[in-house]
A and B are shown apart, each in its own frame.
Chain A
Amino acid sequence: AQSVAQPEDQVNVAEGNPLTVKCTYSVSGNPYLFWYVQYPNRGLQFLLKYITGDNLVKGSYGFEAEFNKSQTSFHLKKPSALVSDSALYFCAVRRRNTGGFKTIFGAGTRLFVKA
């Protein structure tokens, strides 16, 4: 079954430094992969998706992610972190179901950006 794993519960980074939030996937066929962000007491916000094409995907708020088929990874990156990037980040995969498609989320990684 399609699934994603986020190996880090928490990532700490200093403001201005590059950040990486890791995600690996287990998918049969071509994966549909996503990143979402959740701020406190809010719903999730879509950041970016990979379906096909260029392995480097650019998204909202300066985030990007690189699809790596050989390493089955889809890490989220940003060249220069902001304090306001502190939030909970979810990697996700689309899974086909008998009733249609559904989005399955990883466990989440909490990002702390220190000033």
Chain B
Amino acid sequence: DTEVTQTPKHLVMGMTNKKSLKCEQHMGHRAMYWYKQKAKKPPELMFVYSYEKLSINESVPSRFSPECPNSSLLNLHLHALQPEDSALYLCASSPLAGGIITNEKLFFGSGTQLSVL
């Protein structure tokens, strides 16, 4: 299994809603990532989890709350989002090299297209 699976594929939510994005991989990768991508722009890193611990937070607003319950799952909890948060949210994972997370190859899911009304 060489896939990163993201659900849902599409999500429409109001500014007062609470929703969650889910990401799953069964490749044994111990680094997982959330990226945000606006239309026609490059992906921007939001969070990095290494061995299920948050290692990088790119100063993301607290209305985005990541969670890594185990080595295969990564969630992104959403609350009180703004319309400008509408974007494609991409999950990625990367394998170890010699037991070390080297970030030398990222495997991406197809993303969740989020619209905030």
What is the interface of chain A, defined by CB distance below 8 A to chain B?
32, 34, 36, 41-46, 49, 51, 90, 94, 97, 99-108
Contact = CB atoms under 8 A, between A and B. Distances in A.
Contact of A108 (B4, B41, B48): B41
B43 A105 contact: yes
Q: Is the interface of A mostly helix, strand, loop or mixed?
A: strand
Interface residues of B, number: 26
Nearest to B56: A99
Contacts, number: 63
A50 to B, nearest CB: 10
Given A34-B105, A51-B104, A97-B56, 17 more contacts: A32-B104, A42-B111, A43-B109, A46-B106, A49-B105, A90-B43, A94-B104, A99-B50, A99-B56, A100-B56, A100-B103, A101-B101, A102-B45, A103-B45, A104-B45, A105-B42, A108-B42
B107 A99 contact: no
Contact of B90 (A44, A46, A49, A94): A44
Centre residue among A43, A45, A100, A103 by max chain B CB count within 10 A: A43
Contacts of B108: 43-45
Nearest to A96: B103
6 contacts: A32-B104, A43-B4, A46-B107, A100-B50, A100-B56, A107-B42
A6 B23 CA distance: 30
Contacts of A43: 4, 6, 90, 92, 108-111
